[in-house]
Chain A
Amino acid sequence: SQQGEEDPQALSIQEGENATMNCSYKTSINNLQWYRQNSGRGLVHLILIRSNEREKHSGRLRVTLDTSKKSSSLLITASRAADTASYFCATAFSGGYNKLIFGAGTRLAVHP
């Protein structure tokens, strides 16, 4: 089964609103990463947060990590129509494996 589970599966908001997506995972991690995928395209890396970090910012993105709850959240502030995409969390196991396991993603629609 997949390591990460995103919530919600789909999110529809208006431009200017904030969008929050959540991710839960099952086992100990080295880091957690968030990716974005526009329709019909490859994935693009957004942000990486390590297991010893609690919060990270990049532009309008804010990521939090709670290792005690095995969960992370991605906040996009002041959303734009161009933010419409699918967002995936992915985890790198701390067990010595050099690989990234993805969740099923959240589909975000931002309406003008």
Chain B
Amino acid sequence: NAGVTQTPKFQVLKTGQSMTLQCAQDMNHNSMYWYRQDPGMGLRLIYYSASEGTTDKGEVPNGYNVSRLNKREFSLRLESAAPSQTSVYFCASSGPGGAFTGELFFGEGSRLTVL
């Protein structure tokens, strides 16, 4: 099984450009998450989706939008990229009950640089 797949793996943007990070999971999970990881700061939650059709803000949602396209896919969009959004982005998913009942499964990350 592929698990959680993120694309692209690497991206370089100029300030003000837009882009969408794609995430898909093949485990039939209800909950999906987007995190960013910066050096020395661990992972910070950007947005999450408890089920298809719902999305909620996490710790650091400003500058991002998300779409839960269907049960499998959860995308993260940067409308106008800023250097402060240079980071490694991780998508994750979890089964029924989300973090209350079980583990998160992570993708391999998308490394974004904004110049």
Please tell me if the beta carbons of A98 and B97 are within 8 angstroms of each other in the complex: yes
Question: Is A31 an interface position by the 8 A CB rule?
Answer: yes
Question: Is B33 an interface position by the 8 A CB rule?
Answer: yes
Please tell me if the beta carbons of B99 and A92 are within 8 angstroms of each other in the complex: yes
Please give, as numbers and ranges, the residues of chain A lying within 8 Å of B40 by CB-CB distance: 9, 104
* Known A92-B100, A99-B99; contact A2-B106, beta-carbon cutoff 8 A: no
Please give, as numbers and ranges, the residues of chain B lying within 8 Å of A2 by CB-CB distance: 41-42, 44, 59
Overall SS of chain A's interface: strand
> Digit string of A1-45 for contact with B (CB within 8 Å is 1, else 0)?
010100001000000000000000000001101010000111111
Question: Is B115 an interface position by the 8 A CB rule?
Answer: no
Instruction: Report the interface size for chain B: residues with CB under 8 A from the other chain.
Output: 29
A27 to chain B, nearest CB (A): 14
Instruction: Report the interface size for chain A: residues with CB under 8 A from the other chain.
Output: 25
* Known A42-B107, A43-B90; contact A101-B50, beta-carbon cutoff 8 A: no
Roughly how many angstroms separate A31 CA and B98 CA in the complex, as a whole number? 12
Roughly how many angstroms separate A48 CA and B56 CA in the complex, as a whole number? 24
B30 to chain A, nearest CB (A): 9
Please tell me if the beta carbons of B97 and A99 are within 8 angstroms of each other in the complex: no
Question: Is B69 an interface position by the 8 A CB rule?
Answer: no
> Digit string of B38-58 for contact with A (CB within 8 Å is 1, else 0)?
001111110010100000101
Roughly how many angstroms separate A33 CA and B43 CA in the complex, as a whole number? 14
Roughly how many angstroms separate A44 CA and B108 CA in the complex, as a whole number? 10
A61 to chain B, nearest CB (A): 14
Please give, as numbers and ranges, the residues of chain B lying within 8 Å of A98 by CB-CB distance: 31, 48, 50, 97-100
Per the 8 Å Cβ criterion, residues 78-112 of A in contact with B are 88, 90, 92, 98-105
Please tell me if the beta carbons of B98 and A99 are within 8 angstroms of each other in the complex: yes
